[in-house]
Amino acid sequence: MGTAIVRFMTPMDLNNLIQSLVVVTAVGASIVALIIASKDRENARKIAAEDRQTSIRQARLLFEWEAAKRLSIIEARGGHSDPVISKDMGAESLALIGLLGAERVPRMWARRVGKTDAELTAFVEDETNQQYLRDAVEAERAVQRIIDDLHALEKDAAPRRK
């Protein structure tokens, strides 16, 4: 039956049929190529996002490692005979504990900080506290907000700003 149709077609009709089939095939191939390219771009974006998250996690871990190493050195010294240096070491130790947070140094956090964010805010706003202590707590809260922003980036969320 198929050969019967071809017998009744003129050479011009056969050329038109072949050209039509070539065009349909080319259009189909173009659509397939576009779909493949789209999937490839989507996969490349996914890989890039995973690479960014890994890079952020690595940078955060290196930062926390440096802070933990410094805290370890300060704590291992056990103080200093000069009271000014001893106070500086205590202040730095407290700042590093605040930076590392309750997640990394839970017992040190509970013993030396042990306050919620609301309690720390109240401390900063209480004008009966000495100004240098209020400033130190406010600076430490700023460090903690930066750490929170890093965690938000790691989770691919928008950073928290206040």
Q: What is the pLDDT along the chain (162 residues), one digit of tens a residue?
A: 455 555 666 777 778 888 888 889 999 999 999 999 999 999 999 898 888 888 888 888 898 999 999 999 999 988 888 889 888 898 888 888 888 888 899 999 888 887 888 888 898 999 999 998 889 888 888 887 887 787 787 775 444 445
Say what the pLDDT of residue 107 is: 93
φ/ψ bin of 160: left (φ > 0), alpha (ψ from -120 to 50), beta (otherwise):
beta
Collapsing DSSP to helix, strand or coil, 130 comes out as coil
DSSP string, 37-62: HHHHHHHHHHHHHHHHHHHHHHHHHH
Say what the pLDDT of residue 158 is: 43
147 with 117: CB under 8 angstroms? no
Say what the pLDDT of residue 66 is: 94
Q: How far apart are CA 33 and CA 3, in angstroms?
A: 34
CA-based radius of gyration for the chain: 33
